[in-house]
Amino acid sequence: MLKNYLNTAWRTISHNKIYSAINILGLTIGLCACMLVATVVLDDLSYDKQWSRSNDLYRIISINKMGDGLYDRSSSSLTGLVTALKNNFPEVEAAAGIRNTDTRLKLDNSDANGIEVTALSADTTVWQMLDLHVLSGNPRQYIAGDNRNLIITESFRKKFFPHEDPVGKIVYSVPVYSDKPSPYIITGVIKDLPANSVMRANAIVVVKPRNDELLKEQYGTFSENYILLKPGTNIKQFTAKVNKWYAGFVTVKKPYQFEFQSIQNIYLHSDFSGYQAIKGDYKNIYILSGVAVLLLVIACVNFVNLSTARALQRLKETGVRKILGAQRKQLVFQFLTEAFLYFLIATALATIIYRLSLPSLEHFIDHHLAQTFTASYHLFLYCYGGVLLVSIITGIYPALVLSAFKPAATIKGELLSNSRGSQNMVRKSLVVLQFSMSVIVLIALIVVQQQVSFLKNKDVGYDAKNLLSIGQVSWAGKGESFKNELLQNPAVEAASITSWLPTVGAGFMSSEVENPSHPGSNINVWYINGDIDLDKVMGLRLIKGRLLNKTYSADILNPDSLMKIRDSALYANAANQQSSLITAYTAKVLQVKDLGVPIRQAHTTPVGIIKDFNNESLKEPMKPTIIIAGPSPEYGGMLIKVRPGQEKQVAIAVSKLWRRFYPDKLLEIKWVDDMLAAQYKAESRLQQLFSFFSGLSMFLAALGVLGLIIQATAQRKKEIGIRKVLGASVPTIVRLSSIDFVKLVLIAVLIASPVAWWLMNKWLLDFAYRIHISGWVFIIAGTIAVVIALLTISIQSVRAAMANPIKSLRTE
């Protein structure tokens, strides 16, 4: 019986080539897009669940409460806390400092800048926390001495040591802060770390545990720390216990509070961790899942619409089957078999396209996919099980409609008027549904494009054009000489050594200052420290007062000399004398009315107010900022203002000069314009996705309309012939065929617009600086949808209108 159903279904599909091609093409595109998006979503949701102790592994989060409901969360914590927790809490099985770091290693002397290595820096306790599978060497045994212990992954070994055993080999770092390269001894090779992990790296630098003392004054070094709890530990009770203990341990008025973030949540729930290199966004899960479902629904709607539209052509077939004794359930099963066969063919084609598209998808998301439908047996079964379920859900309505007609009416080729009316209503509703979804995606695309353009083109308050950046380094006492020699180049307008660089945090340090508007609560004030030329290089704009000048001794106080003052009163007095520039926003927040008056808690005296500038991404709100100057910082970067048209020449000159001053040090040069644009990489990627999905959704909707108009013109072939004989023109017939569909598209636009407005407004709330959605966005989206529908309809309508009426009026 099943074989008979399949044979009949195959004959039906093969005898209706245009209808079948439209159905299969639509389903293939919808299923393939859904599979690709689902792969990304499943990959994001799988992060760090593969570790055997993932349920017990947590990152320590520090919370600094500043009063008035304000608080600051950080993924770093005091290094002394690790030892204290291990010594004071029996629930803690192990604790370690683990952080991602990018370093450069010289494997030989062929490249001065070496090779970039994404590494984990971890102490020896890491072996208790992560599942590291050793392939060669004995990396568990820490080798003490001057050489750092380096463990490399299998892929690293294959790429850089393909024909040798690297264990025991010494390689050297390309230094940034130190003056000499640091030696690393390769102690072992391990299996590649999982791609779906925040611990993704191709090497591990193993160090001895710090064992720092936890100070009651809440001072100390911060780093990224993890703890491994004993199985069954109640994390809420443990958190409360730790915070109560710490509050009693320290002597400060406002102690830190701590949270313990499960390693399984770090990837998707770390929006507060600005320096975390590997992280996603749980909001994107909802966005991508929604788009995938929309595409699949549009494809399924096309199938339902086309199946019910063909009901008239299958009336006699259904009637004959019923007269010959077919029961309704047999007809339903036959039509469901057809639907399943359509989906099976489409799924096979979608799987082939999906497999071919995976390399491009991995290139787009910039990392290897740990789980795919074609690589995982379980995911493959789930995929085809899902297709079977969707085919049943999608095919059930057409099957019920086609099997419901009475034999007498179907043999005559007639339908009951109420049945025809209900089917037309369903088809129109489905057309509205699929175009509504397409218009929502189109509006989302336009809004995302506007927001990305706004972020990239907004005036950030300083002149970022032709501004070259050298990354943070140790200048080893030669920074001023390097700068002076660089300024001899006529293509260089100005240069400044600074402890802060654009996009790298809000400043080089921060301090809590009492909020004048809310006594009893504090606000964070950020400091930017550079040499006296920083304002000139950045093109900061003065509003009131004066800029910093080296002729004033208070303008260039040396912070190192202040640190030598032991008497607290003398230190405060000297620090308060240091001149500074403040932004207009800072003056407003701190209620600075007169220049030259010290801001005692901030330890500075503002002498000038400059126009506000964004020292962070535009996703972040404006922050109080103070600019201080001094001798060239020993550690920091450099900003170089280049004359227009001389960019390439200056970049080459900087590289040559650097090699003369620092032959062994890493030179990292970037254009600030590129650094600013890189802040919005995720948004740019989302824009590309919406461009792709918008095109797909519109194509699928147009494909469905094309199928419907082909069916409609086939049913109205004699009517069109009569109208032509009676003198109707081609434009008149085309307009007659198009007007009903255009009305449906306009209804879809009216339904989609408020939904899209609500969704995109929610998305825009993540940005401190954002656009306002204008009415013309909906007009443009509606116009595009109507034009696409008209073009699609016209393809078949014009062809039908220009056909010879004699052929259409000829009877059998």
Chain segment 149-193, per-residue pLDDT in tens:
999 999 999 998 988 889 989 988 888 777 778 889 999 999 999
pLDDT digits (tens, 9 = 90+) for 246-301: 988 888 878 889 999 999 999 988 877 767 778 888 888 888 888 888 888 888 88
Beta partners for residue 92, in sequence order: 229
Beta-strand ranges (E) seen in 571-687 are: 579-583, 605-610, 625-629, 635-642, 669-671
Tell me, what's the pLDDT at 726?
60
Q: What does the alpha-carbon distance between residue 12 and residue 249 come to, in Å, rounded to a whole number?
A: 80
DSSP 96-161: EEEEEEEEEEESSSS-TT-EEEEEEEEETTHHHHS---EEEE-TTS---SSSEEEEEEHHHHHHH-
Q: In the predicted model, is pLDDT for residue 418 greater than 70?
A: no
Evaluate whether 25 touches 302 at the Cβ level (below 8 Å).
Answer: no
Q: Give the largest Cα separation in the chain, rounded.
A: 111
Q: In the predicted model, is pLDDT for residue 557 greater than 50?
A: yes
Q: What does the alpha-carbon distance between residue 638 and residue 468 come to, in Å, rounded to a whole number?
A: 8
| Range of lowest pLDDT (269-273, 560-564, 780-784, 785-789) | 560-564
How many Cβ atoms sit within 10 Å of the Cβ of residue 249? 14
Q: In the predicted model, is pLDDT for residue 612 greater than 80?
A: yes
Mean pLDDT of 479-503: 91
Mean pLDDT of 703-728: 65
Mean pLDDT (the chain) is 81
Evaluate whether 354 touches 373 at the Cβ level (below 8 Å).
Answer: yes
| Range of lowest pLDDT (74-83, 261-270, 370-379, 722-731) | 722-731
pLDDT digits (tens, 9 = 90+) for 355-396: 999 898 888 888 888 888 877 777 777 777 877 787 777 777
Higher pLDDT among residues 576 and 451, named by residue:
451
Q: What does the alpha-carbon distance between residue 488 and residue 470 come to, in Å, rounded to a whole number?
A: 18
Tell me, what's the pLDDT at 803?
57
Q: What does the alpha-carbon distance between residue 154 and residue 167 come to, in Å, rounded to a whole number?
A: 12
Mean pLDDT of 403-416: 55
Q: In the predicted model, is pLDDT for residue 412 greater than 60?
A: no
Tell me, what's the pLDDT at 22?
80
Q: Supply angle C-alpha 747, 751, 752, rounded to 5.
A: 115
pLDDT digits (tens, 9 = 90+) for 733-747: 666 667 777 888 889
Evaluate whether 327 touches 47 at the Cβ level (below 8 Å).
Answer: no
pLDDT digits (tens, 9 = 90+) for 616-654: 888 888 889 999 887 777 888 999 999 998 889 999 999
Q: In the predicted model, is pLDDT for residue 30 greater than 70?
A: yes
Spell out the residues 6+ positions from residue 402 whose beta carbon is closer than 8 angstroms to its own: 307, 311, 314, 318, 331, 335
Q: What does the alpha-carbon distance between residue 435 and residue 432 come to, in Å, rounded to a whole number?
A: 5
Cα–Cα nearest to 639, from 458, 442, 438, 469:
469
Q: What does the alpha-carbon distance between residue 510 and residue 519 come to, in Å, rounded to a whole number?
A: 19
Q: In the predicted model, is pLDDT for residue 328 greater than 70?
A: no
Residue 70 is which amino acid? L
Higher pLDDT among residues 712 and 532, named by residue:
532
pLDDT digits (tens, 9 = 90+) for 118-143: 899 998 899 999 999 999 989 999 88
Q: Whole-model pTM?
A: 0.81
Tell me, what's the pLDDT at 47?
92
Evaluate whether 680 touches 452 at the Cβ level (below 8 Å).
Answer: yes
